[in-house]
DNA sequence: CTGTTAGCGCGTTCAT
DNA sequence: ATGAACGCGCTAACAG
């Protein structure tokens, strides 16, 4: 196993000192004579030399890695955010190390620890915070340790950790959505709420309910369930089961994210309920991949890619903790109709 | 900026030698006396010590990072694959460093170089190879250098680089799809081929054409274009424009991937062409997120997550170059209908 | 079982 | 402009 060429190999091969080789091959401000510089470059090329970044990081005590923690890369929400984070990081010359937690808060804490061990330059945490003081506190402690060691961190989600955060405007978005749907004439609503421990879900439910109240409408029927496609499917089935009782008169369903809405659409279709003729459906996020659905989904657009990009900016900036809102915008499409 | 605690800090704090601290804190086989062990652990906890992995990697000359290179994380195909790669890597105690190339071969080569500089343990390259000998050769050279330094590499795609590869059975899948569609009675086909330099696209087109030939049917009408959603949309529009001439009699369209098929469906819908009543549409990949489309999409299923998982296994195994097929399976759904 | 010490590959003063 | 030497944090002989 012929080991990689080292800087010393290059220096010797070029007949110069280690320091000189270092200066020409890695971004030093110091100048090196033209002749030597070329000798070193030739030697490096001949030996196929590549900087050992681990060693460089150690010597400089500064890595060029950015850590990213998401719930689930196969969820298009995070896929889009992650894509933007990677892209923006590359623009800054950083490599990205990703971790997936599958919504396990312990895994999230563990991943921050791993990234701290890696001495990454910055960490971006994407995804809903959890309604659990203890866990949140432990995560905050881990992040504090990371920042204590000189690291930077930024969040996408609820501003709960005392670090720079891009805050999706879940409440306002859902509020406006409720008003828009009320404007279409709907009066009885059901909400597929997702789990009550997910703050993102909670914020959206609360915003929606507040919007209905502001329109002078009664509280919606709340149907909890998992935050994913199957959760939306099951919740929609439960709604149908309640059609003749609690859910009587419901003409519009709000699923707190697009992926759940897709599940709900599938369930309604499977049970022969026409959308939007018999019931209207709305989601949240405006996932690009889902824009070609039929019927096209009424939803609330979040600037996903932009959020990822801005999170990286925040994580790389040197300013103190700040919360930046990411504006949500209602998009009415075919899955909701006007009722008399 | 209070720097992180080091092993030496811990050792001093616990009143033991550096070596002892190292032995208890990091996985050495060596045993340490119970008393000292506890003292060290306590000291580490008190100081909030975390191993500096960069230093550890340097000392051990072996990192615990796996590099992953994909075209585009926001493309659900790669999102699913990447998710599986991350998951499997975590299972092996490895962290994942991702890079996105957006189908730029230069970027791909560059990323392998970056990962080599990082001295990652293994690299997984996902995504279609390109029909360009020169570029392929340069990528191969870069990978060889990486492997020369003791790294391991695995591929998902065409077996062209002389490393372990998970080979999606594009040809056979498309071949079977053609036969299945022929079995439905279709005789005139169009193929939205994607770009001719993408081997994945080419393989699928060739397999499909071969399948038609085997069924005694004429060659399909080929319509090239980009490999993404918009490419599918545009190609479908071009197909419609040819309806009264070259494309006369075409009753079935094969888009070489699901995302393109979605674009095609959108275009057909926009132009008032009913699917499958007026024309049948089929895709390839069976992207999970797209399974709830209406009409549901006839496609060829690829075991995406499994492919990612297996690529990691290959990259971590010590065996020599091998090519493992990933079987493709035709899934007939609503977007294609039987014709007389 | 525990401690000493020599590297791992590179950056960076400090002389020259 | 160039080189010698020390340090970054940790592992792995080697010696006791």
User: Long-range contacts made by residues B304-307, C-beta under 8 angstroms, separation at least 24?
Assistant: B304/B77, B304/B80, B304/B81, B304/B84, B305/A74, B305/B80, B305/B81, B305/B83, B305/B84, B306/B84, B307/B81, B307/B84, B307/B156, B307/B166, B307/B168
State, as a whole number of angstroms, the distance between the CA of B32 and the C1' of C3.
12
| Pairwise CB contact (< 8 Å): B53 & A118 | yes
Nearest residue of A to residue B266, measured between CA atoms: A292
- Touching A: B residues 84-143, CB under 8 Å: 86-87, 90, 95-100, 113-114, 116-119
Residue A280 is predicted with a pLDDT of 98
Q: Are A158 and A127 in contact (CB under 8 A)?
A: no
For chain B, give the percent of residues with pLDDT over 70: 98
Cis check for the bond before A276: say yes or no (omega within 30 of 0). Answer: yes
User: What does pLDDT average to over chain A?
Assistant: 95
DSSP string, A271-333: TT--TTTT-EEE-SB--GGGTT-SSPPBEEE--HHHHHHHHHHHHH--S---EEEE--EEE--
CA dist., res. A67 & res. A222, Å (int): 37
| Pairwise CB contact (< 8 Å): A63 & B54 | yes
**What's the residue count for chain B?**
340
State, as a whole number of angstroms, the distance between the CA of A248 and the C1' of C16.
91
Intervals of CATH 3.40.50.2300 along chain B: 62-168+305-326, 170-302
Confidence category of residue B59, pLDDT binned at 50, 70, 90: very high
For chain A, give the percent of residues with pLDDT over 70: 98
Residue B30 is predicted with a pLDDT of 64
3-state secondary structure B199-260: HHHHHHHHHHHHHHHHCCCCCCEEEECCCCHHHHHHHHHHHHHCCCCCCCCCCEEEECCHHH
Q: Which CATH superfamily is domain B170-302 in?
A: Response regulator (3.40.50.2300)
Beta-carbon contacts of residue B111 (< 8 Å; ≥ 6 apart): B67, B69, B99, B101
Residue B34 is predicted with a pLDDT of 86
State, as a whole number of angstroms, the distance between the CA of B68 and the C1' of D8.
28
Output DSSP code: residue A108: H
- Touching B: A residues 56-85, CB under 8 Å: 57-58, 61, 63, 65, 72-74, 76, 79-80, 82-83
pLDDT over 90 (residue A33): no
Higher model confidence: residue A53 or residue B33? A53
**B1 CB less than 7 Å from any atom of strand C:** no
Q: Which residues of A touch B264 (CB under 8 A)?
A: none
Nearest to B95 among A90, A118, A263 (CB): A118
Q: Give per-residue pLDDT as tens, B64-115.
A: 999 999 999 999 999 999 999 999 999 999 999 999 999 999 999 999 999 9
Intervals of CATH 1.10.260 along chain B: 7-58
Q: Is B138 exposed, middle or buried (0-12, 13-18, 19+ CB in 10 A)?
A: middle
CA dist., res. B87 & res. B220, Å (int): 40
Strand partners, A299: A331
Task: Quickly tell me which residue has 């459906």 as its tokens.
Answer: A281
Residue A200 is predicted with a pLDDT of 98
| Pairwise CB contact (< 8 Å): B150 & A1 | yes
B 45-104 residues, CB < 7 A, strand C: 55, 58-59, 61
Among the ranges given (A18-32, A105-119, A191-205, A241-255), the one the predictor scored with the smallest mean pLDDT = A18-32
Q: Compute how many other C-beta atoms are within 10 angstroms of the C-beta atom of residue A137.
A: 12
Nearest to B149 among A3, A83, A289 (CB): A3
Q: Which residues of A touch B100 (CB under 8 A)?
A: 83, 86-87, 90
**A57 CB less than 7 Å from any atom of strand C:** no
Structure tokens at B271: 């132009």
Nearest residue of B to residue A264, measured between CA atoms: B292
Nucleotide lying nearest to A49, CA to C1' measure? C9
Residue A27 is predicted with a pLDDT of 66
Higher model confidence: residue B36 or residue A338? A338
CA dist., res. B304 & res. A22, Å (int): 44
Q: Are strands B95-100 and A329-331 parallel, antiparallel or unpaired?
A: unpaired
**B33 CB less than 7 Å from any atom of strand D:** no
Q: Which of B233, B223, B168, B234 is nearest to B195 (CA)?
A: B223
CA dist., res. B96 & res. B88, Å (int): 10
Task: Give the bases of strand D that a protein CB approaches within 7 Å.
Answer: 1-5, 7-13
Q: Give per-residue pLDDT as tens, A276-320.
A: 999 999 999 999 999 999 999 999 999 999 999 999 999 999 887
Q: Considering the entire predicted model, what is its pTM?
A: 0.96
Q: Are A65 and A97 in contact (CB under 8 A)?
A: yes
Q: Which residues of B touch A334 (CB under 8 A)?
A: none
Q: Which residues of A touch B150 (CB under 8 A)?
A: 1, 3-4
C-alpha distance from residue A283 to each of A164, A260, A331, B42 (Å):
28, 7, 10, 50
Mean pLDDT of A268-280: 98
Residue B28 is predicted with a pLDDT of 66
Confidence category of residue A2, pLDDT binned at 50, 70, 90: low
Second CATH level (architecture) for the domain A7-58: Orthogonal Bundle (1.10)
User: What does pLDDT average to over chain B?
Assistant: 95
| Fold annotation for A62-168+305-326 | Rossmann fold (3.40.50)
Q: Are strands B221-224 and A252-255 parallel, antiparallel or unpaired?
A: unpaired
**B31 CB less than 7 Å from any atom of strand C:** yes
Residue B1 is predicted with a pLDDT of 53
CA dist., res. A98 & res. A114, Å (int): 11
Nearest to A97 among B50, B97, B119 (CB): B97
Residue A147 is predicted with a pLDDT of 94
A2 touches chain B (CB under 8 A): yes
Nearest residue of B to residue A269, measured between CA atoms: B294
Q: Which residues of A touch B58 (CB under 8 A)?
A: 52, 54-55, 58
Q: Which residues of B touch A100 (CB under 8 A)?
A: 83, 86-87, 90
Q: Which of B52, B64, B67, B73 to mutate to test the interface with A (most CBs of A within 10 A)?
A: B73
Helix axis angle for A53-60 and B53-60, nearest 10°, is: 130
Q: Give per-residue pLDDT as tens, B250-306.
A: 999 999 999 999 999 999 999 999 999 999 999 999 999 999 999 999 999 999 999
Q: Which residues of B touch A293 (CB under 8 A)?
A: 292-294
């Amino acid at each position: 196993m012929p080991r990689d060429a080292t800087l010393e190999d290059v220096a010797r091969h070029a007949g110069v000192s280690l320091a000189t080789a270092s200066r020409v091959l890695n971004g030093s401000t110091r100048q090196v004579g033209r002749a030597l510089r070329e000798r070193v470059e030739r030697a490096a090329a001949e030996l196929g030399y590549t900087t050992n970044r681990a060693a460089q990081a150690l010597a400089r005590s500064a890595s060029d890695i950015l850590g990213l923690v998401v719930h689930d890369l196969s969820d298009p929400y995070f896929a889009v955010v992650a894509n933007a984070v990677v892209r923006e990081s590359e623009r800054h010359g950083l490599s990205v190390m990703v971790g997936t937690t599958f919504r396990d808060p312990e895994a999230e804490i563990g991943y921050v620890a791993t990234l701290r061990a890696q001495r990454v330059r910055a960490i971006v945490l994407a995804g809903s915070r959890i309604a659990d003081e203890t866990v949140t506190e432990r995560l905050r402690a881990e992040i504090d340790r990371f920042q204590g060691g000189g690291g930077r961190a930024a969040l996408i989600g609820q501003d709960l950790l005392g670090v720079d955060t891009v805050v999706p405007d879940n409440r306002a978005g859902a509020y406006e959505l409720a008003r828009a749907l009320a404007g279409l004439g709907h009066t009885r609503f059901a909400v597929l709420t997702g789990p009550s421990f997910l703050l993102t879900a909670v914020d959206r439910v609360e915003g929606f309910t507040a919007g209905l109240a502001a329109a002078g409408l009664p509280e919606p029927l709340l149907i909890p369930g998992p935050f994913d496609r199957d959760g939306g499917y099951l919740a929609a089935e439960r709604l149908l089961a309640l059609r003749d009782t609690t859910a009587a008169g419901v003409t519009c369903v709000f699923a707190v994210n697009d992926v759940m809405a897709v599940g709900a659409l599938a369930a309604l279709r499977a049970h022969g309920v026409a959308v939007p003729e018999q019931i209207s459906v709305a989601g949240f996020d405006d996932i690009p991949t889902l824009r070609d659905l039929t019927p096209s989904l009424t939803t609330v657009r979040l600037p996903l890619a932009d959020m990822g990009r801005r999170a990286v900016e925040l994580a790389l900036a040197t300013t103190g903790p700040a919360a930046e809102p990411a504006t949500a915008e209602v998009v009415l499409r075919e899955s909701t109709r006007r009722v008399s």
